Amino acid sequence: MTDTQYFLQTIQSLLNAPKQGEHDPYRPVWHFAPRVGLLNDPNGLSFFNGEYHLFYQWNPLKCEHGAKAWGLATSPDLIHWQHKPLALAPTEDYETSGCYSGSAIEVDGKLELFYTGNVKYPQGGRTAYQCRAQLDEQGMVTKLGPVLSLPEGYSGHVRDPKVWKRGKHYYMVLGAEDLQQRGVVILYRSTDLHQWEKCGDIYGTDINGKQDANFMLECPDLFALDGRDVMITCPKTWIDSEGKATETFDVEVTLGELDYHQAIYNATGSRLMDHGFDFYAPQTFEDNKGRRILFGWMGKPDEFEPYQPTIEYGWIHQMTCPRRLTILNGELLQQPVEELATLRRNPLSGTCLSTSLVGLSAELLLQDIDGATIAIELSDDLSLLVTPSNITTRRKNLKTGLWEDKAWQGKVSSLQLMRDHSCVEVFINDGKAVMTSRFFGQANSSELQCGFRFESDKAVNYQHWTLEI
């Protein structure tokens, strides 16, 4: 298929999409979501040519996984997004099974794009090429082809290049699986972005004393922040005692130091980056203000996807809100970017034991809640329970109809809940932990469109705003 044929099919899909807007009870107001089709990983995050650029994995033809393209949207402020023409389509021999995830870096007035060309063989098996493309100031993308083929000693699962510059060299990390089915992160180095030299495996199973059971590390991100190096990975973990691989779709983060000379990432321990139901494949970038900003895919590639009701409206999945990352007292904090405060309308505040607050796109702050037990209801299928020792998200499974729990263990002092129709992001203790989840029971909500209801065993201070563009 040529680029032109793929673009024409995309246009046809857009023209024949179901009607949306006010009749869609799930579409977010201020989170980014696709007009049609399936969205997943954020890619190529950058500030370029005076605008924020959000590339993303996209199947514009179906609400299913398949041969992914790269979509693109731009924004002046991280809030108002404009959809742009398709950036990359899987039309070349080296990407027939999809233009998989990657990153971007500005060099000499062009935005250099790096992504994985995925090829699955009809007889079974697969390979991967790390590819390069360029976006110019006029918004035109030119593919430059593969710069790396599959390295020896690894399965066909080598992907998701994250590229940055340090000194005179460019560096790239790749997520990979070696031939012993161990998850590793590979480091490469280049002086010209075209010829790449392998430095070595810097992180993963059996490296530098690390012991785990991960058989793949997807979507690695490695960056310097507040005097530390930070590594984000998406591990896939062995669970079955008989050796069967089971995918958990978690996201882990660790603070450490990359030794560029020895090609090793020194770190101790790791922790989950999100404790909710829907967070995967995050990527970060540094913007023109020097901030480290993260977007994540608010979803997971699991068996429950086909049951999401947004499919009836022609789309599935969305991004998280943009989050600013900082380090305080050795802990990584995630907080909504400051720009989101400009959406606040209709302020309410008080101190009470219980209340109901109107607004399906809204923000709720609960402060000084140490030791309280608080039940928070957002819809018929999702609620939160705060106790003196933890917070739990409880959600009804779309496939089975059974209730499931996700918990964060620790004392909760404050909560910031950011709701946008069919999603909630819960920032615990000023961003020391986060819980991100989608839910769909709001279609059965009352005419008053109550966004939050809470009851507490002691009076708590709250602030509430509706969030409007």
- Which CATH number do you get for residue 376? 2.60.120.560
What is the pLDDT averaged over residues 281-307? 95
Tell me the pLDDT of the chain averaged across its residues: 93
> Is residue 192 domain-resident?
yes
Asked if 239 and 362 sit in the same domain, the reply is: no
Where residue 21 falls among pLDDT bands split at 50, 70, 90?
low
Asked if 225 and 140 sit in the same domain, the reply is: yes
Contact 415, 422 (CB under 8 A): no
Predicted pLDDT of residue 54: 98
> Is residue 22 domain-resident?
no
Tokens of 44: 């190529």
Asked if 222 and 275 sit in the same domain, the reply is: yes
Predicted pLDDT of residue 330: 93
What are the CB-based long-range contacts (under 8 Å, 24+) for 399-402? Answer: 399/303, 399/304, 399/307
Asked if 286 and 365 sit in the same domain, the reply is: no
Residue ending a domain, among 276, 301, 333, is 333
**Residue 359 structural domain:** 339-467
Asked if 343 and 288 sit in the same domain, the reply is: no
Asked if 301 and 380 sit in the same domain, the reply is: no
Asked if 43 and 165 sit in the same domain, the reply is: yes
The tens digit of pLDDT for each residue in 237-250 reads 754 556 566 677 89
Give the CA-trace dihedral at 33, 39, 41, 42, to 10 degrees. -40
Predicted pLDDT of residue 447: 47
Asked if 291 and 169 sit in the same domain, the reply is: yes
Asked if 325 and 345 sit in the same domain, the reply is: no
> Is residue 399 domain-resident?
yes
Give catalytic status of residue 41 as yes or no.
yes
Is residue 67 scored above 70 in pLDDT?
yes
Asked if 383 and 295 sit in the same domain, the reply is: no
**Percent with pLDDT over 70 in the chain:** 96
Determine if the pTM surpasses 0.85.
Answer: yes
Residue ending a domain, among 287, 314, 333, is 333
> Is residue 21 domain-resident?
no
- Output the domain CATH number for residue 173: 2.115.10.20
Residue ending a domain, among 281, 310, 333, is 333
Is residue 215 scored above 60 in pLDDT?
yes
Predicted pLDDT of residue 16: 79
Contact 437, 422 (CB under 8 A): no
User: How many separate domains does the chain show?
Assistant: 2
Task: Compute CA 102 distance to the chain's CA centroid, rounded to the nearest angstrom.
Answer: 13
> Is residue 370 domain-resident?
yes
Asked if 344 and 233 sit in the same domain, the reply is: no
Asked if 271 and 290 sit in the same domain, the reply is: yes
* Interatomic CA distance for residues 107 and 104, integer angstroms: 10
> Is residue 116 domain-resident?
yes
| Marked catalytic residue, from 24, 41, 160, 178 | 41
> Is residue 437 domain-resident?
yes
> Is residue 211 domain-resident?
yes
